[in-house]
Amino acid sequence: MSQQVRVRFAPSPTGPLHIGGVRTALYNYLFAHKMGGQFILRIEDTDQTRFVPGAEDYIRESLEWLGIQPDESPWNPGSVGPYRQSERKPDYMQYALDLVEKGHAYYAFDTAEELEAMRERLTAARVVQPQYNSITRTQMKNSLTLSEEEVKERLESGAPYVIRVKIPRKEEVRMNDLIRGWVMVHSSTLDDKVLMKSDGMPTYHLANIVDDHLMGITHVIRGEEWLPSAPLHVLLYRFFGWEDTMPQFAHLPLLLKPDGNGKLSKRDGDRLGFPVFPLNWENKVDGDTASGFREQGYLPEAFLNFLAFLGWNPGDEREIFSKKELTEAFSLERIGKAGAKFDIAKAKWYNEQYLRQMSDEELAKFVIHEAQKEGYSLSNELAVAAAQLTRDRVTFPQELWKESKLLVVAPQSFDDQVAEKRWNQDAIKVLSSYAEKLQAFEGKLDLDSAKELLGQAAEAHEIKLGKVMQAVRLAVTGSGAGPDLMQVFVILGKDELAKRISFALAELKPID
């Protein structure tokens, strides 16, 4: 029987979750669901200096917004918890000590000054990347260079120490990444990373491996920035004797700036005016803020579809995929190696596609909600009409109200530029007649009668309707552009329409 797939998303709560992190979570979710496995969320909070209050809630809310909830998480734990690394703190030391015992790790007592002195020495000797490694460790204060008694004495006296991994001097470390293929690294390029810090906390590397092992993780799907750490992780699995259950690795391509030059950062979003975070963020402590896709009006289904395509594609022309369809179509093989350029126009396009798929009744809810924020209470009937009128003109749901507000609020002023060009005697004649005809008209105005009466008004003065249309729009809506005018007329009804025209005729001065 093949092993049950278990994947994890393991963010550190150091600030708002970047869009790249959301994509990592989504790919983990899709892969788990496709394979009938589990998607686990683990909070990697061992670095207390970088902990930001509120970040964990932000992660949770972001995943909830997109409907990519984990099967196991700190707030919905399974049987392999804790799901917050800080809560597993007492357990890590024994794993580090196990490696010391096996000869794969060692105590190091060097002070900050001694480490600095080493770096200076190496820099003076023109070493490009000064590091604590298989060569330099022989000149430092650690359990490989000090006598057994001295080590014992130091430990017993409570002297501060760290535990470092002992990287073999000459060895080729190989790993078959599911996206990048074979990755080979020579151990001489790796340094003896700290596994256990002097405050008794594990570093990312130790905690990550131990947790993935204890949680039965079968595939590690994460951002490319972790690829350089993977050889160390492979070595750690070997040192622990966990090679048989070592997860398979899949390192996702970077999210790039729109021009393809480098990694997408928060600053790019600020500079180019689009969000790079799923939700609005506000750090109450340092005042840091960021804007989110949700608050800008992106629909979760559209945003999810957009995200899925940032690095993956189904291999054909189709672009619109529901979450269920994505799950069925998803595979790690179809994730590209090259970085994915971030294209905000595409995100908007997706939002429009998903908006267009919604019914007028669904869209009406947005209209009612937005109108309410400005103190207008709309009937459902009017909101449905407003949604139908504006649905093809907008990118975001909140724009439905902005575009249809003219149905509820009569213009108090008129666009000067349009008036200066179009408010001529011809327009005044046609509009005056139209207002009269509307008042005399019996029955309910519909598209045909609205058009017909306007046509008659123009004909009566032998004026081409096309020449005065913009002035007509100006009179009724206050501006020179907007949604389909005849539909607006029908929704307003003949009385309101005639009233608006009379108001405009009284307000505006003709240009000829």
Indicate the residue among 222 and 437 with the shorter CB distance to ligand GLU.
222
- Binding of residue 203 to ligand GLU (CB under 6 A): no
Q: Which residues, listed in sequence order, are joined to residue 281 by a DSSP beta bridge? A: 290
Q: Tell me: does residue 208 bind ligand GLU (CB under 6 A).
A: yes
Determine the Cα–Cα distance for residues 375 and 454; give it in Å rounded to an integer: 34
In terms of CB distance, is 10 or 66 closer to ligand GLU?
10
Cα 500–chain centre separation: 45
Contact 206, 235 (CB under 8 A): no
d(CA 505, CA 475): 8
- The answer to whether residue 226 forms part of the interface with ligand GLU (CB under 6 A) is yes
Q: Answer yes or no whether residue 44 interacts with ligand GLU by CB under 6 A.
A: yes
Q: Which is nearer to ligand GLU, 7 or 367 (CB)?
A: 7
Q: Does 6 bind ligand GLU (CB under 6 A)?
A: no
Near ligand GLU by CB under 6 A: residue from 18, 60, 88, 222? 222
Site for ligand GLU in 404-443 (CB under 6 A): none
CB of 128 vs ligand GLU, minimal distance in Å: 27
74 belongs to the binding site for ligand GLU (CB under 6 A): no
Binding of ligand GLU by 470 (CB under 6 A): no
| Least Å from the CB of residue 50 to ligand GLU | 10
Q: Does 51 bind ligand GLU (CB under 6 A)?
A: no
CB of 378 to ligand GLU, least distance (A): 45
Return the range that interacts with ligand GLU (CB under 6 A); candidates 7-15, 153-161, 304-312, 454-462: 7-15
- Which region, judged by CB under 6 A, interacts with ligand GLU, from 10-18, 261-269, 374-382, 393-401? 10-18
Binding marks (x or -) toward ligand GLU, 386..405, rule CB under 6 A? --------------------
Buried b / exposed e over 326-355, threshold 16 CB at 10 Å, is bbebbebeebeeebbbbebeebbebbbbbb
User: DSSP labels for 73-99?
Assistant: BTTB--TT--SBGGGGHHHHHHHHHHH
Give CA–CA dist 446/451, Å, rounded. 8
Q: Strands 340-341, 105-108: parallel, antiparallel or unpaired by DSSP?
A: unpaired
CA angle 30, 36, 39 (to 5 degrees): 55
Measuring CA to CA, which residue among 468, 457, 470 is closest to residue 498?
457
Let me know if 324 is a catalytic residue.
no
Minimum distance of ligand GLU from residue 62's CB (angstroms)? 14
Minimum gap (Å) between residue 231 Cβ and ligand GLU = 14
From the list 200, 226, 224, 165, the residue with the least C-alpha distance to 46 is 200
Of residues 205 and 421, the one with the C-beta less far from ligand GLU? 205
Nearest to 301 by CA among 351, 346, 343: 351
- Out of 89, 263, 266, 467, the active site residue is 266
Q: How far is the CB of 165 from ligand GLU (least distance, A)?
A: 16
Q: Which of 5, 6, 7, 10 binds ligand GLU (CB under 6 A)?
A: 10
CB of 202 to ligand GLU, least distance (A): 12
Among 5, 6, 7, 12, binds ligand GLU (CB under 6 A): 12
Q: With respect to ligand GLU, which residue has the nearer C-beta, 88 or 422? A: 88
- Three-state SS for 22? helix
One-character DSSP codes across 177-222: ETTTEEEEEEGGG----EEE-TTSPBPHHHHHHHHHHHTT--EEEE
CA angle 219, 222, 225 (to 5 degrees): 140
# residues contacting ligand GLU (CB under 6 A): 8
CA–CA gap between residue 330 and residue 313 (Å, rounded): 8
Task: Give the nearer residue to ligand GLU in terms of CB position, either 55 or 367.
Answer: 55
11 binds ligand GLU (CB under 6 A): yes
Q: Which is nearer to ligand GLU, 232 or 491 (CB)?
A: 232
Choose the stretch contacting ligand GLU; rule: CB under 6 A; options: 6-14, 50-58, 405-413, 423-431. 6-14
- The contacts found for 236-239 with CB under 8 angstroms, 24 or more apart, are 236/99, 236/165, 236/205, 236/206, 236/209, 237/209, 237/213, 239/99, 239/102, 239/104, 239/105, 239/165
Structure tokens at 343: 């294209």
Beta strands 38-41; 6-9: pairing state: parallel
Nearest approach, Cβ of 346 to ligand GLU (angstroms)? Answer: 25
Joined tokens for residue 256: 């790039």
9 versus 330: smaller Cβ distance to ligand GLU:
9
How many other C-beta atoms are found inside a 10 Å radius of the C-beta of residue 418? 17
Q: Based on the shown chain and the rule CB under 6 A, indicate whether residue 46 belongs to the binding site for ligand GLU.
A: no
Can you say how many angstroms the Cα of residue 394 is from the centroid of all Cα atoms in its chain?
22
210 touching ligand GLU, by CB under 6 A? no
Tell the smallest beta-carbon distance from residue 280 to ligand GLU (Å). 21
- Which residue, 12 or 134, has its beta carbon nearer to ligand GLU? 12
| Of residues 208 and 218, the one with the C-beta less far from ligand GLU | 208
| Smallest distance, ligand GLU to C-beta of residue 24, A | 7
Q: What share of the chain is helix, strand, coil (3-state, %, to 5)?
A: 50, 10, 35
The set of catalytic residues is 266
Binding site for ligand GLU (CB under 6 A): 10-12, 44, 204, 208, 222, 226
